[in-house]
Amino acid sequence: MGGGPCYRLAVADSIRIVFSGVAKRFDERVVFRSVAGEAAPGEVLAVTGPNGSGKSTLLAILSGLLRPTKGSVRYLLPGERELERAQWRRILGAVAPAMSLYEELDALENLRFFARVRGLQGAEDRCRSCLERVALDPGRRTQVAGFSTGMRQRLKIAQAMLHRPLVLFLDEPGSNLDPDGRSWLEGWVHEERAAGTTVVLATNDPREMEWGTRRVALAG
């Protein structure tokens, strides 16, 4: 992997996410009433449940994209110090079906953009190496609009690993990937675990569920 700056060292070595009594409703629709759990460094928290049970909503709440109707989510640094919500985005990476990349840009332009807005200086090598890791050609000038769904998924994964996040939110990460891609994905998640990354995974895929070291099952 290429060099480049890394928030991992700037903020902390590891993050533990503790959530309790988390409830979410959209107007009259109650998504879930009270969910609790913990995602620890070097572990994979698997969030499971039938379609519509709120797996993606829970991940959005845990990543700070949505506020819970009730309950609390805390990011704990070593020594039980709490990380402010405004700082969460700096240390997390995310892949989700509801998150798209810029269709009018090519793969490298997308990664360069995310590197720049994240304040990663001199990240050109890092962008290229992330693309190579997900088996995308950094020299290919095709806009994302011309990518297959599998290639888009690979690019999303490259974007998520770009800044070496301490926390990874993976919402159905294997969707649209071919068997080689799925095997690579499994290896990457194990690598991240070994490096002490906190991984939160939402899935219905039995193989991906097996990666989980802890589980939160949503009833639906």
Alpha helices in the chain (DSSP H): 7-11, 55-62, 85-91, 107-117, 124-133, 149-161, 179-194, 206-209
Alpha helices in 104-147 (DSSP H): 107-117, 124-133
CB of 180 vs other proteins, minimal distance in Å: 25
Task: Please report how many Cα atoms fall inside a 13 Å half-sphere around the Cα of residue 84, on the Cβ side.
Answer: 2
> How far apart are alpha carbons 157 and 130 in whole angstroms?
9
- Residue with tokens 């675990």, as numbered in its chain: 193
> How far apart are alpha carbons 146 and 106 in whole angstroms?
9
Site for other proteins contains 99 (CB under 8 A): yes
Q: Which of 50, 52, 119, 122 binds other proteins (CB under 8 A)?
A: 119
Gyration radius from the chain CA atoms: 17
Site for other proteins contains 56 (CB under 8 A): no
CB of 144 vs other proteins, minimal distance in Å: 10
x/- string (CB under 8 A) for other proteins, residues 133-172? ----------x---------------x-------------
Site for other proteins contains 57 (CB under 8 A): no
CB of 94 vs other proteins, minimal distance in Å: 6
Q: Which of 6, 65, 135, 209 binds other proteins (CB under 8 A)?
A: 65
Binding interface with other proteins (CB under 8 A): 60, 63-67, 86, 89, 92, 94, 96, 98-105, 109, 113-114, 116-119, 143, 159
